[in-house]
A = this chain, B = another copy of it.
Amino acid sequence: MIDETPGPDIDRVITAAQVAAEALATTTPAERARWLMATADALDKAAADLIPVAVRETRLPEHPRLHSELVRTVFQLRLFARVLEDGEFLDAAVDHADPDWPMGPRPDIRRAMVPMGPVLVFTASNFPFALSVAGHDTASALAAGCPVVVKAHPGHPELSARTGDVVAEALARAGAPAGTFGMIAGVQAGVTALRHPAIAAASFTGSAAGGRALFDIANARPRPIPFYGELGSVNPVLVTPGAVRKRGREIVEGFVGSFTLGAGQFCTKPGLLLLPAGHGLDETLRGAVESVSAQAMLNERIADGYLAGVDRLREHPCITVLSGPELGDDPFRPTLLKVAAADFTRAAAELGAECFGPTSLIIEYDGDAELRAVLDALEPGLTATVHAQDSETERVRALLPTLTRLAGRLLWNGWPTGITLSWAQQHGGPYPATTAPGFTSMGTAAIARFLRPVAWQGFPDALLPPALREDNPWALPRRIDGIRVTGEENER
């Protein structure tokens, strides 16, 4: 296991971040884009060194998993460089003085986003690259202009340390101030850091219990700070009778592939499959599950938690085991369970909670009333998926308000695992999906978590930040007197 960073070292790392924050606040987006590109290049070069360490520490397969995860990680850094070049993240608005403003004369007032300050990033175990030291939270916080203090995950300590070295060196060479990036390790160190007065925001991806505990600590500070926790999700998938008839076998294949991918250790794993009663797919499901072999779990803690969770489900009186390891089998062979909708609805608190690992629960519903009752019994989550035929559009339309209330991302005839990163991605949702439903932890909009707005009233042009100067030196898209103007139009 990883050593705990001693108290004085935590303070030194965070104080360095605090000093760096002032320097970072005056850097240009173009400078920070270069840092991110340099970090991406350095990770590309270090791939051959890092991947074997990741294989050893996480037990994840090198091909295709870890290679494609590193591609994703490097892509993320470059995507945030694009966000910085685009400039809209600054949300710049200029309202000129207006003596005729209807509520009374308006002074000149201008508003733009500034970095929040040092960000504490709690890394995840299940994406040792993409949600870890150089991962999505780090990329988006650095893009925002915030120094980052990473709390390394104990599941991959050596990989964390080595990745940290690559990031720190790349940032330093690219000209980022000392203190822009730092790292600590250990559970208690993470808590100490979260309570440090110089930390301005924190992000977390992990379990509901761990995330809630940290959320409570962040809120109990004398000065509470924003805590962006992504706590997991059960990700229901609803299949209509029409879809079963037309594509039953194909849906089964997609479903089993999705819930067993990476040994089910994804926050977007489909944990519930709602099938119409009489679907006739039991044998197909059983065959598909039995063709998937056991995979290693990320670490002992997750393995133990999974076994306890899946045992609890198997032993529940309403649950039937469709397929799962027998006594003497590898206990991490996928487990597929089944329950009747009415039983599920009565016991949703127990049966509808996330079980992190290679298991999923089929809920058989008999008609729309039972289906609705199941949906109404669910907690909000990250995703909700519908498999339906185009001819069933109106039936699905009636369910959309409920699904929208339940999730941050809705999918049609797809599978929730495999999250694309783009401008329109949304990875979040009402609690317990996340602790901050107004934000996303993936995709370009994730930068907004680490920014806060500031207005300048009546300032001389020479003292305004460049984003708000009259001649718009960065050629930003801005809102001027209420009208959106593109960068080209308002450059002078």
Contact = CB atoms under 8 A, between A and B. Distances in A.
A438 B91 CA distance: 12
Contacts of A75: 102-103
A459 B409 CA distance: 11
Contacts of A462: 393
A324 to B, nearest CB: 30
B223 A463 contact: no
B460 A390 contact: yes
A117 interface: yes
Contacts of A424: 93-95, 109-111, 455, 479
Interface in A234-287: none
A454 B410 contact: yes
Given A452-B438, A460-B412, A426 B111 contact: yes
B455 A426 contact: yes
A457 interface: yes
A101 B453 contact: no
Contacts of A421: 103
A70 to B, nearest CB: 11
Interface stretch (A41-49, A187-195, A337-345, A399-407): A399-407
A215 interface: yes
Interface stretch (A157-165, A359-367, A429-437): A429-437
Contact of A455 (B103, B111, B408, B452): B408
B456 A422 contact: no
Q: Could you say how many copies of this chain the assembly holds?
A: 2
A305 interface: no
Nearest to A487: B484
Contacts of A26: 401
A331 interface: no
A438 B453 contact: yes
Nearest to A78: B102
Interface residues of A, number: 94
A225 B431 contact: yes
Contacts of A445: 91, 111, 453
Given A26-B401, A453-B438, A458 B426 contact: no
A350 to B, nearest CB: 15
A458 B414 contact: yes
A72 B456 CA distance: 22
Interface in A303-354: none
Contact of A436 (B102, B226, B412): B226
Given A438-B452, A457-B412, A420 B101 contact: yes
Nearest to A225: B431
A91 B448 CA distance: 13
A342 B90 CA distance: 38
Contact of A458 (B91, B412, B428): B412
A440 interface: yes
A199 to B, nearest CB: 12
Nearest to A428: B453
17 contacts: A72-B103, A75-B102, A88-B479, A95-B423, A104-B420, A106-B420, A109-B424, A111-B426, A114-B404, A200-B430, A215-B224, A223-B379, A404-B454, A408-B452, A410-B455, A430-B452, A437-B452
